[in-house]
Amino acid sequence: MSQADEMLQIKTEALEAIQQADSEKALQDVKVQYLGKKGQVTGLMKNMKNLSKEEKPEYGQKVNEVRQAITSAIEERQADLAEAQLNQQLSEESIDVTLPSRKIANGAKHPLTRTIEEIEDLFLGLGYEIVTGYEVEQDYYNFEALNLPKSHPARDMQDSFYITEEILMRTHTSPVQARTMEKRNGEGPVKILCPGKVYRRDSDDATHSHQFTQIEGLVVDENIKMSDLKGTLELLAKSLFGEERELRLRPSYFPFTEPSVEVDVSCFKCKGEGCNVCKHTGWIEILGAGMVHPNVLEMAGFDSKRYSGFAFGMGPDRIAMLKYGIEDIRHFYTNDVRFLEQFKAVEDRGETTC
């Protein structure tokens, strides 16, 4: 048999075997048989040692043509087999699109989110602007601009997470107030509500957390009085805990307000008679407040003889615990679905208090 006839026979047999291959494995076996290291096409190349220098180029070209023809046929057959396999899979695993879908369970707002939004809605209705700020804050805005110089002993109560000597995780949302007043260039009015997360070094237990939420309010304008603050806080207490609630202001101390007060609301559970919620006092402390200290106004560029203001701060965590009867603040942050699912029912009923 001549070399040309041998090549033609190998090519013909290979193409026939390729067409008869009915699986990926069978096709791979054909490929190895003809194109592998010990395959028949590879064997043709061994004959080149018996050829003259002039015959070798033409012979090598013909062998490559046979190899290319077999390779192309294998690729085409491989594509046909893949398409056939896909069509079979589609026919066997068809989906009935008329079937109803699986029910997707609806969630509910987190109790902290519900409480914060309820407070925000109230103050938006009073004309306040919602302002947020940096959680990583400068020492100046977190302390010094709020009448808390570096040597002030009140800093010890807010010993916090410092990144450098001048940068820390904010301990309250008050820096937002300081920055906002600074941007107003000494011109009022300022009427803002500042919600956000804050951080303090604390031992986590049922009533304390190293991270918690805070909402602070600030009003600065001409002729702002303590009575304006009291009226605002009464509206807040009645909105959160019911129209029959009473308010009590107790003298206190905060470096950034003067005078300062602690604010109590009459117990919504025992109506002031005394119970475990109010520790048998009839009152529940809900926030701190006071008139903006003149030093704070002056450092922000306001004329303290012309402008006055009030500020207040509350913890939505504590308010939510009181509203919904939650005994451990850690429930807010552990993402226990059993705890969170309770508020789906509360949301469905449209309840605002426990």
Q: Which residues are annotated as a binding site for Mg(2+)?
A: 258
Provide the pairing of β-strand 167-169 with 129-130: unpaired
> Residue 105 and residue 190: Cα distance in Å, rounded?
43
> Residue 39 and residue 30: Cα distance in Å, rounded?
9
The residue behind tokens 């707002």 is 109
Query: C-alpha angle 25/31/33, rounded to 5°?
Result: 105
Give the three-state DSSP class for 335: coil
Of 342, 134, 142, 324, nearest in space to 241 by CA? 324
Q: E strand or H helix at 82, and its extent?
A: helix 56-92
> Residue 289 and residue 262: Cα distance in Å, rounded?
6
* Radius of gyration of the CA atoms of the chain, in A: 39
Residue 319 CB partners (closer than 8 Å, separation 6+): 115, 119, 240, 286
Question: Residue 31: how many CB atoms within 10 A of its CB?
Answer: 20
Q: Which letter does DSSP use for residue 106 in this model?
A: P
In this structure, are residues 315 and 213 in contact, taking their beta carbons and an 8 Å threshold? yes
The residue behind tokens 């559970």 is 269
- Which residues line the annotated binding site? 258
329: amino acid identity, one letter: I
Lookup: tokens for 6: 């041998």
- Tell the burial category of 145 from Cβ atoms under 10 Å away from its Cβ (0-12, 13-18, 19+): buried
